[in-house]
C-alpha cells in the first residue's frame, strides 16, 4: 500500500493550530459563564433589598386600643367623652381600615415571598442550565476538534495515498504506451516484410508464366529468365519503398496538382518516371492527352490497372525514338536526382528537340539546399545518384535551349516546427543594459532566421522552362 505523504511535523503543526483555536473558543465560553450568573444574582439581591418591613406597619396601624381610649375622671372624663362622641366614629372607621390594610399587606407579603422564592428558584435553575450548557459546549469543542484533527490527518494520508496510486498508474500508462509503440513498430516492420514477400512471390509467378514449357528446358532461356526474375523482384522491392516513404497516392496527387495549370490546353504530354500514375490521372481529368514512361514494370502495371497509357522504357532511348516537335510537354517528378550528370545533360538536349514550340518542361526534385530535405529524404533513397542545386538545374535548362526558366519551391517545412524567435519587450533606449540585451536578442533572432533558411526551408523544388 502507498505510504502517506504527510510528515510528523505537519501533523504536529496541525494539532497546534487546532489547540490554539480551542483555547480562544473556550475562553469566550468561560467569559459568558462568569457573566450571566453574577448579573442574575445581583438582580435578585436588589429585588430583596427593596421589600417593606411588615413589622413596622403592625406596630403603628392602631390608633387606640380595642376597648376604646381612656377618658379619665372628673371634668376631663366628661370633656373627653364629648370629644370622643364627635371624632370617635371616624377614628374607629380609620382604625378598621388600617386593620384591613395591614391584614391585606400581610397576606400579600406571603404571596410575594412565595413568588420571590419561585422566581429565585427559576433563576437558579436558569443559571444552573446555563452553566451546564457552557460545560456541554466546552465538551463539544474537544470532541469536534478531535474528529477534525483525525479527519484532517486521515484526509492528508489518503490524499497522499491517492497521489501515490496516481503516480503508479501514470508510470504504468507510460510503460504501456512505450510497449504499444514498440509493438506498432514491430507490426509495421512485419507488414513491410510480408508485403515484400508477397511482391516477390507475385514476381516469381509472373516470370514463370512468361516462360513456355519448351523455353524452360533451354539453359540460355533459364539464365535470361533468372535475370528477369531478379529484375522483377527488385522492381517490387522499390515499389514497396515508394509506398512507404514517398506518400500515399492522395498525398502525391495533392502535391502535383500545383503543376497542372502549366499544361493547360496542351496535348501529347510525356510523364517521365510516371510511377503509380498520379499526375497522369490529373492530366486525364483535365482533358490533356498524356502517356507515362517508367523503368519499373510494376509501376507500369499499377498504371494499366487504372487504364492509364504508360509503358516500360528508358527515358533517353524513348525520346530519341520520337519525332522532333512531337511532344506538347514533359513532366518529371523526383527523377533527375536518379540520373548520372552526362545522362541528364543528353536527356535535356534531346528533350529540347522533341518538344513543340510553346510547350513546357517541369523537373521536380529534392531540394538539397534544405539541409533537412537532404539528410532526411535524399540520402534515404539508395537509388539517388546526385543532388541537384536549384541554380544548377535552372542553368542546365537554359543551356539546353529552354527560355523563361524559373524555380518554384514546394512542400514548405512547417513553421511551428522551425527554430523560434526569443520574445523581448521594448525598453527605454536610454538604459544601456536593456539596449544591449535587446541587441543581443535581435542578433540571436537573425541567426535563427539564417538557420531556418538553411535547415528548414522548402523540401522540394521544380525547375520550369518553356521552348519558344
Average pLDDT score over residue span 327-346 = 96
- Distance of alpha carbon 452 from its chain centroid, rounded? 29
Note the pLDDT tens digit of each residue in 252-285: 898 899 999 999 999 999 999 999 999 999 999 9
| pLDDT the model gives residue 212 | 52
Q: Residue 422 phi/psi, 5° resolution? A: -90, 125
pLDDT at 84: 73
Predicted pLDDT of residue 325: 96
Host H or E run for residue 353: helix 341-354
Q: What is the DSSP string of 386-433?
A: ----HHHHHHHHHHTT-EEEEEEEESPPPGGGS--PPP-----TT-HH
pLDDT at 440: 74
Beta bridge partners of 403: 466
Q: Does the pLDDT value for residue 233 go beyond 50? A: no
In sequence order, the β-bridge partners of residue 331 are 271, 362
Query: CA torsion angle for 435, 439, 440, 442 (degrees, to 10)?
Result: 130
Q: Residue 2: its pLDDT value, please?
A: 47
pLDDT value of residue 122: 72
Average pLDDT over residues 70-90: 75
d(CA 113, CA 43): 16
Q: Most confidently modeled of 104-113, 157-166, 254-263, 365-374?
A: 254-263
- Average pLDDT estimate for 383-407: 93
Least confident segment among 62-66, 366-370, 454-458: 62-66
Strands (E), 247-312: 269-272, 290-294, 310-312
- Per residue in 133-189, pLDDT tens? 766 666 666 666 665 655 655 555 655 666 677 777 777 778 777 777 766 665 555
Q: State how far the alpha carbon of 223 is from the alpha carbons of 58, 210, 211, 313, in Å.
A: 160, 14, 12, 22
Judged by DSSP in three states, 329 sits in strand
- Give dist(CA 312, CA 300) in Å, integer: 7
What average pLDDT does range 100-128 have in this prediction?
75
Span of 212-216, 258-262, 267-271, 332-336 with lowest mean pLDDT: 212-216
Instruction: Please give the pLDDT value at position 437.
Output: 72
Topology (CATH) of 314-466:
Rossmann fold (3.40.50)
Assess whether pLDDT exceeds 50 at residue 373.
Answer: yes
pTM, two decimals, is: 0.49
Provide the mean pLDDT of the chain.
76
Tell me how many helices (H) and strands (E) the chain has: 13, 7
Q: Which of 99-113, 208-222, 268-282 has the lowest mean pLDDT?
A: 208-222
Distances (CA, A) of 162 to 3, 5, 210: 10, 10, 71
Q: Which three cell numbers stand for residue 354?
A: 522533341
Write the CB contacts of 380 (distance below 8 Å, at least 6 apart in sequence).
245
pLDDT of residue 225: 46
CA distances from 413 to 36, 79, 247, 383, 423 (A): 85, 149, 16, 24, 22
Among left, alpha and beta (phi > 0; psi -120 to 50; other), residue 108 is alpha
Q: How confident is the model at residue 463 (pLDDT cuts 50, 70, 90)?
A: very high
The fraction of the chain above a pLDDT of 90, given in percent, is: 30
Give the pLDDT of residue 236.
Answer: 46
Is it the case that residue 226 has pLDDT exceeding 50? no
Long-range contacts of 398-403 (CB under 8 A, 24+ apart): 398/465, 399/348, 400/345, 400/348, 400/349, 400/351, 400/352, 401/349, 401/352, 401/467, 402/352, 402/361, 402/465, 402/466, 402/467, 403/465, 403/466, 403/467, 403/468
Mean pLDDT (whole number) for 362-391: 86
d(C-alpha 15, C-alpha 73), whole Å: 100
In this prediction, residues 79-99 reach a mean pLDDT of 76
Highest mean pLDDT among 21-35, 44-58, 225-239, 406-420: 406-420
Amino acid at each position: 500500500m502507498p505510504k502517506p505523504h504527510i510528515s510528523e511535523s505537519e501533523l504536529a503543526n496541525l494539532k497546534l493550530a487546532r489547540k490554539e483555536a480551542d483555547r480562544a473558543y473556550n475562553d469566550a465560553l468561560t467569559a459568558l459563564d462568569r457573566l450571566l450568573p453574577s448579573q442574575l444574582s445581583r438582580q435578585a439581591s436588589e429585588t430583596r433589598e427593596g421589600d417593606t418591613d411588615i413589622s413596622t406597619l403592625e406596630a403603628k396601624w392602631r390608633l387606640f386600643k380595642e376597648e376604646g381610649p381612656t377618658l379619665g375622671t372628673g371634668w376631663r372624663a366628661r370633656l373627653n367623652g364629648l370629644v370622643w362622641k364627635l371624632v370617635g366614629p371616624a377614628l374607629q372607621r380609620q382604625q378598621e381600615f388600617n386593620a384591613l390594610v395591614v391584614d391585606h399587606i400581610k397576606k400579600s407579603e406571603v404571596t410575594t415571598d412565595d413568588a420571590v422564592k419561585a422566581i429565585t428558584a427559576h433563576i437558579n435553575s436558569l443559571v444552573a442550565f446555563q452553566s451546564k450548557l457552557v460545560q456541554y459546549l466546552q465538551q463539544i469543542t474537544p470532541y469536534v476538534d478531535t474528529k477534525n484533527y483525525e479527519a484532517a490527518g486521515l484526509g492528508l494520508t489518503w490524499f497522499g495515498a491517492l497521489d501515490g496510486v496516481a503516480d503508479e498508474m501514470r508510470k504504468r500508462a507510460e510503460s504501456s504506451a512505450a510497449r504499444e509503440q514498440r509493438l506498432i513498430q514491430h507490426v509495421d516492420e512485419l507488414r513491410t516484410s510480408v508485403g515484400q514477400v508477397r511482391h516477390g512471390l507475385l514476381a516469381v509467378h509472373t516470370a514463370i508464366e512468361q516462360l513456355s514449357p519448351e523455353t524452360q528446358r533451354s539453359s540460355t532461356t533459364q539464365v535470361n529468365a533468372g535475370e528477369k526474375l531478379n529484375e522483377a523482384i527488385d522492381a517490387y522491392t522499390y515499389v514497396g519503398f515508394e509506398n512507404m516513404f514517398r506518400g500515399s497516392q492522395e498525398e502525391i496527387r495533392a502535391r502535383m496538382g500545383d503543376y497542372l495549370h502549366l499544361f493547360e490546353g496542351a496535348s501529347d504530354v510525356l510523364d517521365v518516371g510516371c510511377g503509380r500514375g498520379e499526375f497522369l490521372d490529373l492530366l486525364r481529368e483535365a482533358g490533356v492527352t498524356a502517356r507515362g514512361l517508367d523503368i519499373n514494370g510494376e509501376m507500369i502495371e499499377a498504371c494499366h490497372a487504372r487504364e492509364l497509357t504508360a509503358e516500360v522504357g528508358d527515358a533517353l532511348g524513348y525520346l530519341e525514338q520520337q519525332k522532333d516537335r512531337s511532344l506538347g510537354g514533359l513532366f518529371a517528378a523526383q527523377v533527375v536526382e536518379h540520373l548520372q550528370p552526362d545522362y541528364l545533360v543528353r536527356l535535356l538536349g534531346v528533350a529540347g528537340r522533341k518538344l513543340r514550340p510553346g510547350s513546357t518542361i517541369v523537373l521536380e526534385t529534392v531540394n538539397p539546399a534544405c539541409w533537412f530535405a537532404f539528410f532526411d529524404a535524399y540520402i534515404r533513397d539508395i537509388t539517388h545518384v546526385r543532388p541537384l542545386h536549384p541554380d544548377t538545374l535552372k542553368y542546365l535548362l537554359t543551356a539546353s535551349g529552354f527560355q523563361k526558366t524559373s524555380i518554384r519551391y514546394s512542400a514548405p517545412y512547417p513553421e511551428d516546427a522551425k527554430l523560434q524567435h526569443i520574445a523581448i519587450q521594448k525598453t527605454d533606449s536610454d538604459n544601456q543594459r536593456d539596449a544591449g540585451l535587446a541587441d543581443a536578442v535581435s542578433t540571436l533572432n537573425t541567426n535563427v532566421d539564417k538557420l531556418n533558411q538553411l535547415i528548414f526551408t522548402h523540401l522540394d523544388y521544380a525547375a520550369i522552362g518553356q521552348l519558344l
